[in-house]
């Protein structure tokens, strides 16, 4: 996941500060040297790193910090505040026109994720009661129109296309179509290029002139590193942008673009892409991202994901079962299915406070194991799921054969399930907390 290396390096830099009762200027300057190297390695713009470190250092070498009761934590708080300021301070939402339809124009280089992001934004707006229309204005990339149609059908959103006619004409006709068909949102998917050129910019200017977009959103790929900042700067100078969508932040990327784009362009980051699903395109909250970067989790995003995934009534019923110690493998199977909907497990664990301080090894989290667990439970009879204590040797052998797994795996799952039930009982009865190992770890 993005920022993993940065998080680890920042935590190492702060570890020494936390262990000291008092700090000297040398302590802070040594820590800031490590912070500077960590940010540069994360591909953050050099000038931004220089200004950032200078600002943190100046605020940290004050008498109230050096002479305070907990100077190490105070320095971390200063770093957190500066990170939030760097990324824009507040969440910047999409704005809506007072005279529908609201037109959003998606721009960016080829392969940045414009088409997919267009569909995800449309799907999220539809959840808010809007009636979006996707518009295919990429007439150059093979199968680009077809891709947008597939994305539209996936999210059940109509797509307006006129083949290979001029993009500006298609955009103009699409806006007129939206007005006459009750579409209050128009999202125009424009053509990208492998690199920025004048022909591209002229075409985008033509589309902009006829469609009169309420916002122009630039989509950049986080994996392009510092180039993402250069692309953002150029697009902003040439056609003007109103916001940025950063994709592929869930990949093995250094993530420096998210820390640089806002400062370089002065334009807010609106969304970040953390996976393939609709809800994996998340509204960008600078304070939550700063918390993730510093390894302090992101409770609010975790709560929002849970609220979108879990049925409130089911949650109440589950709590009752846990309190009565009636939680069975049917309930466990349901929970596993809902957890899968929340996104990659590593991302979810990273949102939990305290987990960010642990180095989560890829080998410790096996996403495929969820499918294995599901296969095992689904190979049981309803009676066996309700009462796993009846699972003798022959039953376990039958389940192993039916699920394509092994008897030791069945035994391990049942042991972990019993441990989990004991842990849940402690939680609901206010007992001591222990260490629980989940079946996917």
pLDDT of 162 > 70? The answer is yes
The per-residue pLDDT for 251 is 65
In percent, the amount of the chain with pLDDT more than 70 equals 79
pLDDT of 436 > 50? The answer is no
Mean pLDDT for the chain?
81
Distances, alpha carbon 226 to alpha carbons 85, 247, 250, 278, in Å? 20, 14, 17, 27
**Segment 71-116, tens digit of pLDDT:** 777 788 888 888 888 888 788 889 999 999 999 999 998 888 899 9
pLDDT-derived band at 253 (thresholds 50, 70, 90) equals: low
| Domains 4-87 and 309-429 fall in the same CATH topology | no
CATH class belonging to 4-87: mainly alpha
**Segment 29-40, tens digit of pLDDT:** 888 898 898 888
Q: Span 148-156, mean pLDDT?
A: 92
The per-residue pLDDT for 372 is 86
Rounded Cα–Cα distance for residues 103 and 433 (Å): 52
**Segment 401-421, tens digit of pLDDT:** 999 999 999 998 898 888 877
Q: Span 384-395, mean pLDDT?
A: 92
Strand ranges of the sheet holding 215-221, from the earlier edge strand across to the other edge: 159-160, 132-137, 185-190, 102-107, 215-221, 243-247, 269-273, 281-283
The per-residue pLDDT for 311 is 63
The per-residue pLDDT for 273 is 87
Ranges 22-31, 263-272, 300-309, 333-342, most confident: 263-272
In DSSP terms, 104 is beta-bridged to 187, 215
Cis peptide before 101 (omega within 30 of 0): yes
Q: Span 230-245, mean pLDDT?
A: 90
Q: What is the CATH code of the structural domain delimited by 309-429? A: 1.10.260.30
Ranges 69-83, 255-269, 359-373, most confident: 255-269
pLDDT of 4 > 90? The answer is no
The per-residue pLDDT for 126 is 93
Rounded Cα–Cα distance for residues 82 and 66 (Å): 18
Both structure tokens of 314: 């089911």
**Segment 127-140, tens digit of pLDDT:** 999 999 999 999 88
pLDDT-derived band at 424 (thresholds 50, 70, 90) equals: low
Q: How many C-beta atoms lie closer than 10 Å to residue 160's C-beta?
A: 22
pLDDT-derived band at 343 (thresholds 50, 70, 90) equals: low
**Segment 186-201, tens digit of pLDDT:** 999 999 877 777 888 8
List the domain boundaries for the chain. Answer: 4-87, 102-296, 309-429
- Name the residue with higher pLDDT: 401 or 62: 401
The per-residue pLDDT for 408 is 92
CATH class belonging to 102-296: alpha beta
């Amino acid at each position: 996941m993005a920022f993993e290396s940065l998080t680890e390096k920042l935590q190492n830099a702060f570890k020494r500060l936390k262990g000291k009762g008092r700090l000297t200027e040398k302590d802070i300057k040594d820590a800031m040297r490590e912070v500077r190297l960590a940010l540069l390695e994360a591909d953050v713009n050099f000038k931004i790193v220089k200004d950032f470190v200078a600002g943190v250092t100046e605020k940290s070498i004050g008498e109230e910090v050096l002479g305070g009761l907990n100077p190490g934590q105070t320095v971390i708080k200063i770093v957190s505040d500066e990170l939030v300021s760097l990324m824009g301070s507040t969440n910047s939402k999409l704005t809506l026109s007072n005279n529908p339809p609201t037109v959003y124009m998606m721009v960016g280089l080829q392969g940045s994720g414009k088409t997919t992001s267009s569909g995800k934004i449309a799907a999220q707006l539809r959840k808010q009661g809007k009636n979006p229309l996707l518009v295919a204005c990429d007439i150059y990339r093979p199968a680009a129109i077809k891709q947008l149609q597939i994305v539209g059908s996936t999210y059940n959103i109509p797509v307006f296309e006129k083949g290979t006619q001029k993009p500006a004409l298609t955009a103009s006709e699409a806006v007129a179509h939206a007005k006459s068909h009750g579409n209050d949102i128009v999202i125009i998917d424009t053509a990208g290029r492998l690199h920025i050129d004048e022909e591209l910019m002229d075409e985008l200017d033509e589309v902009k002139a006829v469609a009169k977009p309420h916002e122009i959103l630039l989509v950049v790929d986080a994996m392009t590193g510092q180039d993402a900042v250069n692309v953002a700067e150029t697009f902003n100078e040439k056609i003007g942008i109103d916001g940025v969508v950063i994709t592929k932040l869930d990949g093995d990327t250094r993530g420096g673009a998210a820390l640089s784009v806002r400062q370089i362009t002065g334009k807010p980051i609106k969304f970040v892409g953390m996976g393939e699903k609709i809800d994996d395109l998340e509204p960008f909250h600078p304070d939550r991202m700063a918390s993730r970067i510093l390894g302090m989790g992101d409770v609010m995003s975790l709560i929002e994901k849970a609220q979108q995934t879990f049925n409130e009534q089911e949650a109440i019923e589950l709590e009752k079962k846990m309190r009565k110690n009636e939680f069975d493998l049917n309930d466990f199977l349901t929970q596993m299915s809902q957890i899968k909907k929340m996104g990659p497990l590593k991302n979810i664990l990273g949102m939990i406070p305290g987990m960010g301080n642990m180095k989560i090894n890829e080998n410790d989290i096996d996403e495929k194991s969820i499918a294995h667990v599901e296969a095992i439970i689904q190979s049981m009879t309803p009676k066996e799921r309700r009462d796993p204590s009846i699972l003798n040797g022959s039953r376990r052998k039958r389940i192993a054969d039916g699920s394509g797994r092994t008897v030791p795996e069945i035994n391990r799952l049942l042991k972990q399930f019993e441990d989990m039930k004991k842990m849940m009982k402690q939680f609901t009865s206010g007992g001591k907390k222990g260490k629980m190992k989940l079946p996917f770890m």
